[in-house]
Amino acid sequence: ETGVTQTPRHLVMGMTNKKSLKCEQHLGHNAMYWYKQSAKKPLELMFVYNFKEQTENNSVPSRFSPECPNSSHLFLHLHTLQPEDSALYLCASSQVPGAGGYTFGSGTRLTVV
Amino acid sequence: EDQVTQSPEALRLQEGESSSLNCSYTVSGLRGLFWYRQDPGKGPEFLFTLYSAGEEKEKERLKATLTKKESFLHITAPKPEDSATYLCAVHDSNTGNQFYFGTGTSLTVIP
């Protein structure tokens, strides 16, 4: 499979749950990103990984914990989330950071109840 | 202050009715301006990159142009399948690898 694949597509979790989002890319890209998309707001950059190393953490609360075991896989571990964390979480990749047009996955629609 | 502002927020067009979407930006070190298309329930799909004022890019019914302060996405004779949200993003060299996205224009093309 080519492109950027995100699983699950939809997730409903309680505030005390722990869950993980998964992202996989088969494009040979070296940079991967997590973005949060909320209604009526611009995409918010959360984390950047370059060659598996985290290069940016955009003041994201510690209840979001990223993991990048290799340059093809990216995870976002979630725990004790708040209802305001409900959003579309998008994974993206590019050849290198700042290279230009990203390739995005279809996202995980997260609802915190 | 918002670095990227898109207008209008929503646009309804009759099929065949040409129009333009606007993306204005305030960053001082523009390294690139990007247009994306986003369909409901999907991630953004990359359309164009523009690097310098005067540059133009075309793809089917879409043409993107760039000036020193704004970009336009011109849609010529749109079809219903062009209905989507169009996002603009800028890469600012003064803030490392930061990309700033706009909130998008939701385009609906009515048959």
CA atoms in the 13 A half-sphere facing the CB of A90:
22
Contact state of A92 with B43 under an 8 Å Cβ cutoff: yes
d(CA B17, CA B48): 22
Contact status, residue B26 vs residue B1, Cβ threshold 8 Å: yes
**Is residue A2 pLDDT above 70, yes or no?**
no
Backbone angles phi, psi at A94, to 5 degrees: -150, 165
Residue A105: pLDDT band by 50, 70, 90 thresholds? Answer: very high
Interface of B with A (CB under 8 A): 2, 4, 31-32, 34, 36, 41-46, 49, 87, 89, 91, 96-103
Mean pLDDT (chain B) is 94
Taking only the tens place, the pLDDT of each residue in A4-32 is 999 999 999 999 899 999 999 999 999 99
Taking only the tens place, the pLDDT of each residue in B50-89 is 999 999 999 999 999 999 999 999 999 999 999 999 999 9
| DSSP structural state of residue A15 | T
| DSSP structural state of residue A27 | S
Contact status, residue A1 vs residue A21, Cβ threshold 8 Å: no
Closest CA to B87 of A107, A43, A96, A73: A43
Q: For the residues A38-59, what does the mean pLDDT come to?
A: 85
Contact status, residue A7 vs residue A108, Cβ threshold 8 Å: yes
Neighbours of B34 (CB within 10 A): 23
| DSSP, residue by residue, A49-70 | EETTEEEEE-S--TTEEEEEEE
Enumerate the residues of chain A whose CB falls inside 8 A of the CB of residue B86.
none
Q: A57 vs A45, B62, B108, CA distance in Å?
A: 8, 35, 36
Residue B90 parent element (H or E): strand B84-92
Predicted local distance difference test score (pLDDT) of residue A21: 98
Enumerate the residues of chain A whose CB falls inside 8 A of the CB of residue B89.
43
